[in-house]
A and B are shown apart, each in its own frame.
Chain A
Amino acid sequence: MLRIDRAIMDAIVAHARRDHPDEACGVVAGPAGSDTPTRHIPMDNAERSPTFYRFDAMEQLRVWREMDDRDEEPVVIYHSHTATEAYPSRTDISLAGEPAAHYLLVSTRDPEHTEIRSFRIVDSAVTEEPVEVVDATVDPHAVQSYMFGQSPTSVDYECSDGGAAGVAA
């Protein structure tokens, strides 16, 4: 299963939409051994193609060294398909070189709806996995209560029951 922050997923989708119709690609790094993606790194598609992607070799060296320095590893490797489904192609499968990574596929073939699916690819075997998007901005334990007619950003002086407390029109 891939657990990923809403903010990072939104950034990945935005990247894919921005580069459409070229394939977009990138990495989400996370602390080594944690299986938690924390740092989104959009990469340049050196091929700039609607059907092929490749990380620029020097950029990849810089990013991989940086991850090593920070004791991170590539937890998610993502790319987009711009006219086909969000499923690894034969090319994707044969070139998958990071056996511990989650391979995230994003399809931008439909302008309204983005398909997002995640896979493990190990020794050319593809296994789909569920994606859980975690929304860190919503605190499930927050207790929120407001006085009648009030909210954190507005105070409503109009009383709809027409009582004595109503403000003259």
Chain B
Amino acid sequence: MAIEVRIPTILRPHTGGAKSVEGAGDTLAELLTDLDAKYPGLRARLVTDTGALHRFVNVYVNDEDVRFLGALDAKLSDGDTVTILPAVAGGAFGLAAAAAVLQR
């Protein structure tokens, strides 16, 4: 079972510079655990201490945002491509205040 995972520039130090790596897993959670074994520290950049996908990381399975596929429970099939992109966001608002107001 092979899943292609496209790695954004900012996370490539974890994969030795590779922009694409291979992993396995029936769900996104399993895939990230699998990848973390090969590329230590990668999972921690994507999953928070409370076990949720980081708010400002976008993960896609093929052409779909995993937020609509169950997030970490998103199902994966052999041959899928998972793409990771850091969200492009910011603004004048303080981060904690923004999070509280946006409730996200």
In chain A, positions 63-96 with a C-beta closer than 8 Å to chain B are: 64, 77, 79, 81-84, 88-92, 94-96
A63 to chain B, nearest CB (A): 10
Interface size on A, residues (CB 8 A): 35
B10 near A99 (CB under 8 angstroms)?
yes
A45-53, A147-155, A158-166: which lies at the interface: A45-53
Known A51-B98, A57-B65: A95·B92 in contact at CB below 8 Å: no
Name A residues whose Cβ lies closer than 8 Å to a Cβ of B.
23, 25, 27, 43, 47, 49-55, 57-58, 60-61, 64, 77, 79, 81-84, 88-92, 94-100
Q: Across the interface, which residues of B come within 8 angstroms of A52, CB to CB?
A: 89-93, 98, 102
Classify the secondary structure of A's interface with B.
Answer: mixed
The size class of the interface chain B forms with chain A is 20 to 34
A55 near B90 (CB under 8 angstroms)?
no
B91 near A61 (CB under 8 angstroms)?
no
Known: A60-B88, A81-B92, A92-B90. 15 other contacts (CB 8 A): A49-B91, A52-B92, A52-B93, A54-B88, A55-B89, A57-B60, A61-B83, A82-B92, A84-B92, A91-B89, A95-B56, A95-B88, A95-B95, A97-B8, A99-B9
B23 at the interface (CB under 8 A from A): no
